Amino acid sequence: MRRLRNVKIVATLGPASSSYEMIRALFEAGADVFRLNMSHGSHDDIRARHEIIRQIEKDTGRPIGILADLQGPKLRVGIFGSDTAELVEGAAFRLDLSDEPGDAARVCLPHPEIFAALEPGSALLVNDGKIRLQVERCGPDFAECKVIVGGTISNRKGVNVPDVVLPLAALSAKDRKDLEFVCELGCDWLALSFVQRPEDVLEARELAKGRAAILSKIEKPAAVKAYDAILEVSDGIMVARGDLGVELPVHAVPPIQKRLVRGARAAAKPVIVATQMLESMIESPIPTRAEVSDVSGAIYEGADAVMLSAESAAGQYPIEAVKTMNNVAISVESDRTYREVIEASRRAERSSVADAIVAAAREIAESTPIKAICCFSQTGTTVSLVARERPRVPIMALTPLMETARRMTLTWGTHCAITPVQHRFKGAVLAAAKAAREDGFATTEESVVVMAGVPFNRAGTTNILRVAPCDESKITNAETE
């Protein structure tokens, strides 16, 4: 199954998409990677969806990526005596550690870590920022606040603290259990919530022990400030615009998104743009024009993937949402302006032999009638370097390792295929020619670029490139001449 676009589609599974029939329909409509949200559903639910995805993978013969999204620590107020209270602008409101039911004057905030980090003038946002408080006086077990923006507050609403780096680990006790569960299950990517510093990523990496790649969700102002350091220790990035739009002014999010996408691309690491991309399609079969423009903007920026959340997990039109993203991507990528934007944003990264090889592969493929760039890779690193170049021809990612193929399904422009283990470059060229023909990228009359590393089956050795015909007899004859 060959996609007619380069950007990938991540679809979240949930109550609306938990059967074999629906998940397969989403895959056939265009989903490349499925997201399992650990904030919802039991381990049994997650296991069942994982098994269905792997069965579809077997039935279709195509690698499918699975992204497990860890919940992260959830900061919430306590309960109210009447379940809700009305906070009036300009009034005083106290947060403390007392477990007494709250009212319009106070409520419990059962997180001493927050009080330890607060300072006078700090902002507290409640219920996705609908209520805004400003700290006037605070101590180790309380915060006296002024209501800046009032409204109805109710039991266990979420709290955001945008102004300070909280002394909280990105992994809660629940996250640690979930991490071990999904790694044992065989998920390919771990999305890490509440990242504030590179140490958060390193902790998750130590626990994962190489069983899954680590994708950092940038959703905190502290993560934006420490982005370069976080990117360096991450395998991928998610621009999580939901919390970013709560903790930062909404007008600040678009330029931040562009900077994060460009940074990840320069580092040759996949980047997902997420949250509310087709929000109206939760209840409507047709998106708004603004939503289509939002998806298009992420694709023009060069994002590796765009993501559906509630649209595919709990919405009424999950298949239509995936089809819409697929069609938007095809339309954008066929636009001449798209190539102009993508190529204008390309950075010259030439610090290694592999960098030079992939740059040469792109230039050869774009200046001659080459049909695909075929990369043999053990870890996916070479494929990511080629994808960073955003070539005009398809990228065929060839590997004997299913785990590598699954992880590469998140990378821009890649068509992943499992090939036998190779020991000589001639065998690799023959395997590439065969895969290009069988998967519909080239005919026997056409040629591909083949990249590999010698010695074979060793990571980080990309050092050879060949323009090869897809007619195996011509390859064999050339070797004997």
Active-site amino acid positions: 35, 76, 217, 275
How far apart are the C-alpha atoms of 195 and 69, rounded to whole Å?
Answer: 13
One-letter amino acid for residue 443 of the chain: T
CA distance readout (Å), 79 to 6, 99, 271? 48, 8, 38
Length of the chain: 481
Radius of gyration of the chain (CA): 24
What are the tokens at 177? 């259990």
What are residue 19's phi and psi, to 5 degrees? Answer: -95, 160
How far apart are the C-alpha atoms of 416 and 408, rounded to whole Å?
Answer: 7
How far apart are the C-alpha atoms of 189 and 211, rounded to whole Å?
Answer: 9
Triad 293, 297, 299: Cα angle to 5° = 120
What are the tokens at 98? 């007392």
For tokens 């992260």, name the residue.
Answer: 72
For tokens 């890490």, name the residue.
Answer: 192
What are the tokens at 380? 């996916």
Triad 269, 271, 272: Cα angle to 5° = 155
Is residue 132 a contact partner of residue 85, using CB atoms and an 8 Å limit? no
Cα within 13 Å of Cα(419), Cβ side:
28
